[in-house]
Chains A and B, each alone.
Chain A
Amino acid sequence: MRRLVEHALGAVFPTSAGIPGLERLDYGARLDEVLRGPPLMRLGLYAATLLFVLLPIWTVYTPLPSLLLSPSRLDRHANQLASSRIYLLRQLMLLLKTVGGLLWGADPEVRQALGLSPLGPDPGTFRGDELRVAAESPPRARR
């Protein structure tokens, strides 16, 4: 399933004249985090991916899964789905776009290509965190 998610995300954020697309970027660790996130988000992402893979017959009238489309058809398929008149489809695509946007927009290569400064780290630490405690060596808890 993860491969399919990567395929769909890559089609939504493809490489384009001088700007790297998701398929060229190393975002695996961050995607892992997303997939470990809230179950509802994961389910939505999987549902969006499945529809993305199955619906070329409806968008570009081709009875093939999106994995087998030519690059230009795949691009048309992605754009048609994102602009669909059916609200639920649009919402599911919005979820794909949101997750893809979080991964693509934070990437240093993309940011450099667009003339934006790179982002710093996301430490994910907090007071009392073992990772921070190790650095600060505060008093240890005892029971």
Chain B
Amino acid sequence: MSDYACDWRSYGHIAFQERGSVALEADYVVVGSGPGGSGAALVLARAGFEVCVVEAGPWRDPGDYPESMLGAMRDMMPDWGATVAVGDSIMPIVQAAVVGGGTVINSAIMVRTPDDVLADWRERHGLGDLFDERAMGLQHDAVDRELAVQRTPEGANFGSNNAMLLSALQRRQLGGKAILRNVVGCQGSSSCLQGCRAGAKQSANLGWLPEVIARGGTVISCARVDRVVFERGVAVGVRGRSRHPRTRVLGAAVDVRARRGVVIAASAVQTPLILQRSGIRLPALGRHWRVHPGAAVVGVYDHPVDMQRGATQGTASVHFRDGIAIQDGRPIAGTGENGIKIESLALPLELLAGRAAGAGQALIERLRDARHQAVWISAVRAEAEGTCRLGLFGQADVRYKPTQRDLRALRAGSHLLAALHFESGARLVRPGVVGLPAEIAPDQLPLLAEAPLDNRCWTWVLSHLFGGAVMGNDPQRSVVAPDLHVRGVRRLHVACAAALPTTLGVNPQHTILAVARILAERLANGA
């Protein structure tokens, strides 16, 4: 079948190919190798199917990982991290483009899908018992075992940034906990975003994808899929092109035929675009695009915090997941407002420098005390829905505008984080909100409660993405039917964040993994 012969094939991995064409055949083709793609590929491979994973990014091992943020943007992210969502403000979208997808650059936080989300999927989105608590629980258990999910030890490698937030949350009984992560032997290098050079983070490129290969599968890296190929309404393969990760030169055509089915798992941004490029026309395609927009609050302390030492993210709280409001200067949970999740996050100096207010001497003065800064973030369980469509030049055209309620939750979260910083001894807080002073002292905290509810005044970052090709029983509102086929075509499936019909209010990768594995199990069982 193949007009391609290469010794790399015997290793089950085909990297960039300059000339000719790469033509393969497998039982299943999986497009994308993040938690969704690698999770689905592994289950199918273990069930005895021949799987071919096609991934746009290169396969980097820990020795290839960059140390600087410039290197991380260049080597690990699509288009240097230049993807943005546009509404009345411009919000950067952070994603990975490497073998292993988000599992390589994320903070390895593993949170099970909350029961209320599953009930909502069942009741409002008509997904039946497919993803009930039992089915998802079994997957979560299996993943926890395989990826050695454990609570981040509060030892020497925990780091002050995490320890300080943990104490602050516990003092107020706000549900602060050391985070559960799929990490073994974290060395506290605070560089999860650049990939874990210590090999402690159990990312898919280290464990699951090598197992897919060991079971007879193939990974084609540096190969961007353009479209799905159909024959008489049946998905029979994918077509794409090899591209050199450094020079960006286009190389061989890539054609993979699928005997049994095509699984798209290219993220909430790219999956809708691949389906659109493939000629799928469904009313819900590219719609119901959601995020957990996040923003950081910096506290400046008299003592060094040294957030460059410790787990990148070590502490979190979901106390305000169901809503937060500030009343009389105090945060109230579950108020009918939108919720937030609180986390510590070690920002590298390079990103602190871009985020600090002002320019020139004023900017440098705000960086002089870099070692004394602690960064805590809130991610909003936002209600806004956006769209993700093919732009004029084939790029992702993402439209997204947080609502006033989303902004109120963010403002309340920032107020809470600033208060926690002050209670922890911060001398001042840098809220990062235009319209407020660049630095506020403890007696200026009430200013934050009145901060402008204008998206353009806040610096949001989008890294938890959902939807664009969501599952559901309503043909007007969903792209994937409850039988997990893309509507109107056979043997085409979605197994990444694009399929999730709602936000979660918690970190998404555990949910994405479980959903992808359930889909793959059903395929393996002949559904």
A61 at interface (Cβ–Cβ under 8 A)? no
Closest B-chain residue to A80, C-beta based?
Answer: B359
CA distance A12 to B7 in the complex (A): 51
Say whether B4 contacts A128, CB under 8 Å: no
A14: which B residues are within 8 A, CB to CB?
A: 360-361, 364
State the CA gap A102–B77 with chains docked (Å): 15
Known: A14-B360, A38-B80, A105-B348. A94 touches B354 (CB 8 A): yes
Q: Counting CB contacts under 8 A, is A53 at the interface? A: no
Q: Say how far A25's CB is from chain B's closest CB, in angstroms.
A: 13
Taking the complex as formed, is A142 at the interface, i.e. its CB lies under 8 A from any CB of chain B?
A: yes
Residue of B6, B99, B359 near A141 (CB, 8 A) is: B6
Q: Which residues of A contact B304 (CB under 8 A)?
A: 115
In the complex, the answer to whether A129 meets B361 with C-beta atoms within 8 Å is no
Please tell me if B142 contacts chain A, counting CB pairs below 8 Å: no
Interface centre among A13, A105, A126, A140 (most CB of B within 10 A): A126
Hey, which chain B residues are within 8 Å of A140, CB to CB?
7
- Structural contact, B352 and A105, CB atoms closer than 8 A: yes
A3 at interface by CB-CB < 8 Å: no
Complex Cα gap A124–B292 (Å): 31
Q: Is A68 an interface residue (CB 8 A)?
A: no
- B446-485 vs A: 1/0 string, CB under 8 Å? 0000000000100100000000000000000000000000
Chain B 247-264 interface mask (CB, 8 Å, partner A; 1/0): 000000000000000000
Closest-by-CB residue of B relative to A141 is: B6
Q: How many A-B pairs with Cβ below 8 Å?
A: 191
Q: Which residues of B contact A110 (CB under 8 A)?
A: 349
A16 at the interface (CB under 8 A from B): yes
In the complex, which of the residues B58, B59, B371, B456 contacts A114, with contact meaning CB atoms closer than 8 Å?
Answer: B371
The answer to whether A127 and B58 touch (CB under 8 A), given A81-B359, A94-B354, A122-B74, is: yes
Which of B12-20, B321-329, B488-496 contacts its partner?
A: B12-20
Binary interface encoding of chain A residues 30-44 relative to chain B, with 1 for a CB under 8 A from any of its CBs, else 0:
100110011011000
Among B35-91, those with CB < 8 Å from A are: 58-61, 63-71, 73-75, 79-80, 82, 89-90
A6-50: contact bitstring with B at CB < 8 Å (1 yes, 0 no)? Answer: 000001111010010100000000100110011011000000000
Cβ-based interface call for B350 (8 A) = yes
Report A-chain residues with C-beta under 8 Å of the C-beta of B146: none
Contacts of A76 in B (CB 8 A): 360
CA A143 – CA B6 in complex, angstroms? 7
Assembled-state Cα–Cα distance A75/B16 (Å): 47
Interface residues in B, total, Cβ within 8 A: 66
One of A30, A125, A143 near B5 (C-beta < 8 A): A143
The residue from B59, B348, B351, B358 contacting A127, defined by CB atoms under 8 A apart: B59
| CB of B172 within 8 Å of the partner chain | no
Given contacts A14-B364, A93-B359, are A127 and B20 in contact (CB under 8 A)? no
Residues of A contacting B11 in the complex (Cβ-Cβ under 8 angstroms) = 138
CB contacts under 8 Å to A, within B327-375, are 348-355, 357-365, 367-368, 370-371
Instruction: Give the contacting residue for B367; candidates A85, A114, A142; CB below 8 A.
Output: A114
Contact A87:B8 (CB < 8 A) given known A78-B359, A97-B363, A122-B70: no
Q: Is B308 an interface residue (CB 8 A)?
A: yes
Instruction: Provide 15 A-B residue pairs closer than 8 Å at the C-beta atoms, listed in order of the A residue.
Output: A12-B359, A19-B367, A38-B82, A41-B79, A74-B360, A97-B353, A97-B359, A102-B350, A105-B349, A116-B308, A122-B75, A127-B221, A128-B14, A129-B16, A138-B7
B interface residues, Cβ below 8 angstroms from A: 4-8, 10-11, 13-17, 19-20, 58-61, 63-71, 73-75, 79-80, 82, 89-90, 99, 221-222, 245-246, 304, 308, 348-355, 357-365, 367-368, 370-371, 434, 456, 459
5 nearest interchain CB pairs? Answer: A128-B15, A122-B71, A101-B353, A105-B350, A126-B58
